[in-house]
């Protein structure tokens, strides 16, 4: 048993799925003092960000203030700060301006998440934004809606078509869901709202470099998803590589090495992620090499090699199970967060340690649009309406606050029966990159 004159201090960096689940699991370990550090004051339910980007939900529907979530947990506090450096030898965090004092820790859990990976073309991010923050979602919403407004005023047919063409780069769940949502906006929600354009002329192109979309799904569900996307009016281009992105222009290389230019006013990026820059700091401090996606390898208990009291979980960590790294998914982060909290509690109290971490895959799902989705739950595969209902229920249950669940259920019911989207506001909000 570890003895302390003061409570054992646990510091968690990141209030996402992994960090928040870890913090909440510590509520029964009253002999610990938990500090949750995040540069934002809220937990964001990222799987529904695309619905904010397409006007189905408002940011408040999918975000919960961290202090409100942890208000009844007396051994937990929230610190609004951005980590600048991690001193593993000195066991302290250093912050960017606004918090001058370093923060000491006995146990550190880094759950800083990820950002989009442009595979060496970072200059593309200003032209083709990703979808990781509320600001990004609001910026995309504005881009999408402004494109239709500009097309309404445009008299040149070619320019009008360019304004009504949308390219989404990346055929994973986020890309598929975003493409389907934009299709719903164009072909259903806005159908009778304009007088000089026909929104049925909208072109939505989903580009994927691998031979198929939703590569993590079984082949039959991939085919079902493709069928549903096509029915929704999305043009799926799989097996083609994006070679160049310029303002309102995407160049793709087809399987026969031909180059094709797609002119589109709106280009969105969903083609992969890389770990938070904090992974590089951990790698430098611990002497561990990052993997090819910038994630830091961890031991079987999610700790850093040579640092048993420092843990990395979620998207920032590379955890190998059954010979393969676990995917950067919310359920992985949530399970790792709960496991590490349990491990630390047992370690500090001197009780029997839990077995090594093992991820339980409860399934994967993606929605295409109204009454259309695919779900692989392991024991059963679903597509169409049943998969869509399953997707709705699971996402409502995973929302952190009860009031968010109620608001999202109401908004979804409104959208289902009216085919409307209540949050179609064009605001002055821009992405973080645009404001810099």
% residues pLDDT > 90 (the chain): 78
- Can you tell me the distance from the alpha carbon of 352 to that of 277, in angstroms, rounded to the nearest whole number? 35
Task: Say which residue, 249 or 425, is predicted with more confidence.
Answer: 249
Active-site annotation holds for 434: no
- Can you tell me the distance from the alpha carbon of 165 to that of 264, in angstroms, rounded to the nearest whole number? 5
Q: What letter does residue 211 receive in the DSSP assignment?
A: S
Q: If you compute the radius of gyration of the chain from its CA atoms, what whole number of angstroms results?
A: 23
- The answer for residues whose C-beta is within 8 angstroms of residue 41's C-beta and 6 or more apart is 65, 66, 67, 78, 80
User: Chain centroid to CA 274: how far?
Assistant: 11
Of the chain, the end-to-end C-alpha distance in Å amounts to: 50
Q: Which pLDDT score is estimated for 428?
A: 66
**Is residue 60's pLDDT more than 80?**
yes
- Can you tell me the distance from the alpha carbon of 17 to that of 261, in angstroms, rounded to the nearest whole number? 39
Region 319-328: what's the mean pLDDT?
92
Band (pLDDT 50/70/90 cuts) for residue 415 is: confident
The size of the chain, in residues, is 436
Which pLDDT tens digit goes with each residue over 114-148? 988 998 899 999 999 999 999 999 999 999 999 99
Q: Which pLDDT score is estimated for 326?
A: 93
Token pair for residue 72? 């009844």
Which pLDDT tens digit goes with each residue over 281-312? 999 999 999 998 899 999 999 999 999 999 99
Full-model pTM: 0.90
CATH superfamily of 8-39+81-116+274-349: FAD/NAD(P)-binding domain (3.50.50.60)
Beta strand extents in 228-376 (DSSP E only)? 234-238, 241-246, 249-253, 259-262, 266-269, 273-275, 296-297, 303-304, 307-312, 317-318, 320-321, 324-325, 364-369, 372-376
- The answer for residues whose C-beta is within 8 angstroms of residue 54's C-beta and 6 or more apart is 140, 141, 144, 178, 181, 182, 184, 185, 421
Question: How does the average pLDDT of the chain come out, rounded?
Answer: 91
Region 318-345: what's the mean pLDDT?
94
**Is residue 431's pLDDT more than 80?**
no
% residues pLDDT > 70 (the chain): 97
User: Chain centroid to CA 362: how far?
Assistant: 18
8 A C-beta contact, residue 164 and residue 202: yes
Architecture, CATH, for domain 122-271+363-435: 3-Layer(bba) Sandwich (3.50)
User: Chain centroid to CA 289: how far?
Assistant: 25
Domain assignments of the chain as residue spans, ordered by start: 8-39+81-116+274-349, 122-271+363-435
Q: Which pLDDT score is estimated for 412?
A: 85
Q: Which pLDDT score is estimated for 407?
A: 85
One fold for both 8-39+81-116+274-349 and 122-271+363-435? yes
User: Which of 164, 181, 245 minimizes the C-alpha distance to 207?
Assistant: 245
- Can you tell me the distance from the alpha carbon of 174 to that of 325, in angstroms, rounded to the nearest whole number? 20
Catalytic residue among 77, 82, 154, 177: 177
């Amino acid at each position: 048993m570890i003895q302390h004159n003061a409570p054992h201090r646990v510091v968690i960096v990141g209030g996402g799925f992994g960090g928040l689940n870890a913090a909440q699991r510590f509520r029964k370990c009253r002999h610990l003092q938990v500090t949750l550090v995040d540069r934002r004051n809220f937990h964001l339910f990222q799987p529904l960000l695309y619905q904010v980007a397409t006007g189905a939900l408002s940011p408040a529907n999918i975000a919960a203030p961290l202090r409100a979530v942890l208000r009844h947990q007396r051994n937990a506090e929230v610190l609004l700060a951005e980590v600048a450096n991690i001193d593993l030898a000195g066991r302290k965090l250093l912050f960017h301006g606004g918090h001058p004092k370093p923060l000491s820790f006995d146990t550190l859990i880094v759950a800083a998440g990820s950002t989009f990976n442009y595979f060496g073309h970072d200059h593309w991010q200003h032209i083709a934004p990703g979808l990781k923050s509320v600001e990004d979602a609001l910026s995309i919403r504005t881009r999408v809606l402004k494109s239709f407004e500009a097309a309404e005023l445009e008299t040149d047919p070619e320019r009008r078509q360019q304004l009504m063409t949308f390219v989404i780069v990346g055929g994973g769940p986020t890309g598929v869901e975003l493409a389907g949502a934009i299709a719903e906006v164009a072909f259903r929600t806005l159908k009778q709202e304009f007088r000089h354009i026909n929104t049925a002329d909208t072109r939505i192109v989903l580009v994927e470099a691998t031979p198929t979309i939703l590569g993590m799904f079984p082949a039959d569900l991939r085919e079902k998803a493709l069928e549903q996307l096509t029915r929704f009016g999305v043009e799926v281009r799989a097996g083609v590589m994006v070679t160049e992105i310029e303002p309102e222009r995407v160049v793709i290389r087809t399987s026969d090495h031909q180059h094709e230019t797609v002119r589109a006013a709106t280009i969105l990026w969903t083609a992969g992620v890389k770990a938070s820059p904090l992974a590089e700091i951990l790698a430098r401090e611990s002497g561990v090499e990052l993997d090819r996606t910038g994630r830091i390898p961890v031991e079987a208990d999610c700790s850093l090699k040579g640092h048993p009291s420092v843990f990395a979980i979620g998207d920032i960590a590379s955890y190998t199970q059954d010979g393969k790294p676990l995917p950067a998914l919310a359920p992985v982060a949530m399970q790792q967060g709960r496991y590490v909290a349990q491990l630390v509690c047992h370690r500090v109290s001197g009780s029997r340690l839990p077995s090594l971490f093992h991820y339980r895959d409860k399934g994967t799902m993606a929605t295409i649009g109204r009454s259309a989705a695919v779900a692989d739950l392991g024991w059963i595969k679903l597509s169409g309406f049943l998969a869509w209902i399953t997707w709705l229920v699971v996402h409502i249950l995973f929302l952190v606050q009860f009031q968010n669940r109620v608001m999202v259920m109401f908004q979804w019911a409104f959208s289902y029966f009216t085919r409307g989207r209540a949050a179609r506001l064009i605001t002055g909000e821009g992405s973080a990159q645009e404001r810099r």
